[in-house]
Amino acid sequence: MQDFWRLSAADLAALIRSRKVSAKEAAASALLRLDAVNPKINAVVDHRPDEVLAQAASVDAAIAANEDVGALAGVPVTVKVNIDQQGFATTNGLRLQRETIAQSNSPVVDNLRKAGAVILGRTNCPAFSYRWFTTNLVHGDTKNPRDPGITPGGSSGGAGAAVAAGIGAIAHGTDIAGSIRYPAYACGVHGLRPTMGRVAAFNAALPERGIGAQISAVSGPLARTIGDLRIALEAMAGRDVRDPWWVPAPLQGPDEPKRAALCLQPDGLETVAEVKMAVAAAGLRLQQAGWVVEELATTPPLREPAELQTRLWLGDGYEAQLAAAEREGDPGALACLRGNRAKVQPFDAAAFSLALTRRATLARQWLQFLETYPVLLMPVSAELPFPDGLDLRDEASFARVWRAQLPQIAIPFLGLPALTVTTGLVGRIPVGVQIVATRYREDLCLLAGAAIEAGGVPSTPVDPVG
């Protein structure tokens, strides 16, 4: 059987639509790849081969009937285990939710299926999707296919590891503090955090989310090419009335000057030399592609929005979250909550009001900045991807991890889109750059990302390293 799993989503969909390859052949190839590499990395934690092949057969039948099967015709994709897929448990990495079986699909799953995608399997995440590492007590540890000694990222670590290893051309992830962007960075692929409201979200199997998550958590794609991110975003962004925050914004905005800001140490970030070099090199690639790139000493505030995002994310309902984590007994979840207690408590009505009020002020500053510079290049993290489990070593290591993730945590509070573009390797450790644009201008992130990608990226798919 041919290695169809090596192809980009765009190329594979074109072959399937033209009937040169059947969706069932593509699905069978993807299942073989999953069987070959998943035991080494534990990226996919639930899949049903018969259902995968049945989905593919329905795509083939639609093509045979000359029906429009969508941009992702027959492309195998994975979805994160924290969203509803009918008949599967929405575990979110929790033993407590092993029996939380979804009776319907989330909007993301429905929209991917409408675009012709075949849902290959469900990918791992840390308990409660809290960490930039992917371990839990129900599904076990996910390993980075490039180097098992470094984190695969989190919380969409299974998604990043899967797409890097060729288990699906596209992976779904979610992001409230970097959970798409960081796994892409750690695994050497690309990952797009869309604007809040771009991709409809709803899990009927779970209680309604608190306001912090409602206004900052998003679903988005990880992929091995920028082109595949573009196709995936179009598929995911379909209308769904179940999400009152969904916005019918166009995917392509008006032309803007090809002008970018570049900042190596935004808001005083203690960026290591290897990351500075990667961001500077990405800026040079943009210049070579005809962009005007201006290096700045700093940006609008990141520290304050990062602090307020942490409060909204973890402080709202903190005691209930802590009680659930104690029932679960997950060390990483408990470390996250206990380690941030002083940052988020007390969280009363006054603190809540202040956070939302400051959000408007800080977002305004950023929107005005992005009027001058349509895109911003900055680090994804202050450091290269961390040694796996670093946040559990001691208090200093926990603080180091959170300090380095400042550029990721702040962006959701501001409601902005951001893209991780992988650019190279330091040894076998991936490195890359984060691109930020104004609201609903993911197209600008992708435009700049494509220019940077053209300068070279780490090869994928990869065979997992032992």
Residues classed as catalytic: 80, 155, 179
**Shortest CA distance to 200 belongs to which of 161, 226, 172, 228?**
172
In b/e form, how buried is each residue of 266-280, taking b as 16+ CB within 10 angstroms?
A: bbebebbeebebbbe
| Sign for the pseudo-dihedral over CA of 455, 457, 460, 462 | positive
Show Cβ contacts of residue 13 under 8 Å, excluding neighbours closer than 6 positions: 71, 72, 73, 74, 75, 116, 231
Cα–Cα dist 365/300, whole Å: 7
Contact 30, 76 (CB under 8 A): yes
118-123 and 44-46 beta bridge pairing: antiparallel
Residue 125, both tokens:
């995440």
Sheet containing 429-437: order of strands: 44-46, 118-123, 76-80, 170-175, 218-223, 190-193, 418-426, 429-437, 375-378, 259-262, 292-295
Neighbouring CB atoms inside 10 A of 100's CB total 16
| Sign for the pseudo-dihedral over CA of 161, 165, 142, 272 | negative
Cα–Cα dist 253/383, whole Å: 33
Show Cβ contacts of residue 309 under 8 Å, excluding neighbours closer than 6 positions: 177, 212, 216, 409, 410, 412, 413
User: What single-letter amino acid sits at 148?
Assistant: P
Cα–Cα dist 366/384, whole Å: 26
CA 389 to chain centre: 19
| Sign for the pseudo-dihedral over CA of 40, 42, 45, 48 | negative
Helix axes 406-414, 303-310, angle to 10 degrees: 80
Neighbouring CB atoms inside 10 A of 242's CB total 14
